[in-house]
Amino acid sequence: MLVSLVVGMVGCRASTRVATTTSLYDTGLWGYLEPMFEKQYNAELDIMYAGTGKALELGRRGDVDIITIHSKADEEKFIAEGYGVKRVPFAYNYFLIVGPEADPAGIKGMSPEDGFKKLMETGNGKFVSRGDDSGTHGREKTIWEKADYDYEAVRKAGGWYIEAGTGMGPTLLMASEKQAYTLTDIGTFLSFKGKIGLVPIVDKGDILLNVYSAIAINPEKNPKTKIKMANDLINFLTSPEIQKLIGNYGLKEYGRQLFIPCAGAEPK
């Protein structure tokens, strides 16, 4: 799925093209930050709302100037292949396995790997996967791998496993409708909490760390890249003022941070 959203007035201002993962958009963070960037740099942001896989594809084709995604292995490969300049982390949060409060599979408090293993072994409870080659989908596949399961075998394991093929917000809504489990970033879960009947079931484990990074597209690979504007956006996202705003975003409304700022440093 890909939705192009052009924000701001059409005029003489230069446009910065950004491909972003769905969770940064579904939480409203981009809508919050865009007007500030546009005013500060007298520029216009053209946001491509997509999963991480699609964002990387847009970057490879040179259709955007910068990508903001959350899949470290894919990001490092993207840079190694010459498509990106540098991976710059700017915020992080955590993934959760959420599900119905009754927890039919009995996985509450387990590690993510053990929880997935029990879902696979018992088939007690449905699981809705993003199924869209996003960063969240990639993390789900990593958890299955760490649980010693071949992902293709999981996909064919039965009707309890459902592929949504869509963004995080719609996936949460589908999981709620089916009273199923799903893997989500905490930011999108909190922003959708009032619309769904799901609760956190598994929220502990190193594998749940979720880092968001900005990568400017390499102008040597794609000469049309507006590298200065891409770097302006990276400087904006990692500036002390905006880092503070990112850290406070949603805090008053949800009672906890949707994103934790990390200004270019990899969280541990």
- The predicted model gives 22-34 an average pLDDT of 91
Mean pLDDT of the chain: 92
pLDDT at 4: 43
Of residues 8 and 84, which shows the higher confidence score?
Answer: 84
Q: How far apart are alpha carbons 172 and 178 in whole angstroms?
A: 10
User: One fold for both 2-92+211-261 and 94-208?
Assistant: yes
pLDDT at 123: 82
- The predicted model gives 14-33 an average pLDDT of 91
For a pLDDT cut of 90, what percent of the chain falls above it?
83
Q: How far apart are alpha carbons 91 and 174 in whole angstroms?
A: 27
pLDDT tier at 264 (50, 70, 90 boundaries)? confident
pLDDT at 10: 42
Would you call 227 helix, strand, or coil by DSSP?
helix
pLDDT at 52: 87
Asked whether residue 128 carries a pLDDT value surpassing 90, the answer given is yes
DSSP β-bridge partners for residue 87: 215
Which are the contacts of 199, defined by CB distance < 8 A and separation ≥ 6?
98, 99, 100, 101
Q: How far apart are alpha carbons 138 and 70 in whole angstroms?
A: 10
Would you call 23 helix, strand, or coil by DSSP?
helix
- The predicted model gives 121-141 an average pLDDT of 93
pTM of the model: 0.88
Query: CATH code for 94-208?
Result: 3.40.190.10
Asked whether residue 138 carries a pLDDT value surpassing 80, the answer given is yes
Would you call 123 helix, strand, or coil by DSSP?
coil
pLDDT tier at 176 (50, 70, 90 boundaries)? very high
Query: What would the pLDDT profile of 46-91 be if each residue is shown by its tens digit?
Result: 999 888 889 999 999 999 999 999 999 999 999 999 999 999 999 9
pLDDT at 51: 81
Asked whether residue 110 carries a pLDDT value surpassing 80, the answer given is yes
pLDDT tier at 12 (50, 70, 90 boundaries)? low
Handedness of CA 213, 143, 136, 255 (dihedral sign): negative
Q: How far apart are alpha carbons 211 and 175 in whole angstroms?
A: 24
Take residue 217 and report the two structure tokens written for it.
């597209």
pLDDT at 9: 39
Would you call 66 helix, strand, or coil by DSSP?
strand
- The predicted model gives 191-205 an average pLDDT of 95
pLDDT at 23: 87
Contact 199, 123 (CB under 8 A): no
Which are the contacts of 232, defined by CB distance < 8 A and separation ≥ 6?
16, 41, 43
Contact 18, 48 (CB under 8 A): yes
What top-level class would CATH report for the domain 2-92+211-261?
A: alpha beta
Return the closest-CA partner of residue 125 out of 110, 150, 103, 157. 103
Would you call 29 helix, strand, or coil by DSSP?
helix
- The predicted model gives 132-153 an average pLDDT of 94
pLDDT at 70: 93
Q: How far apart are alpha carbons 62 and 84 in whole angstroms?
A: 10
Q: Per-domain residue ranges for the chain?
A: 2-92+211-261, 94-208
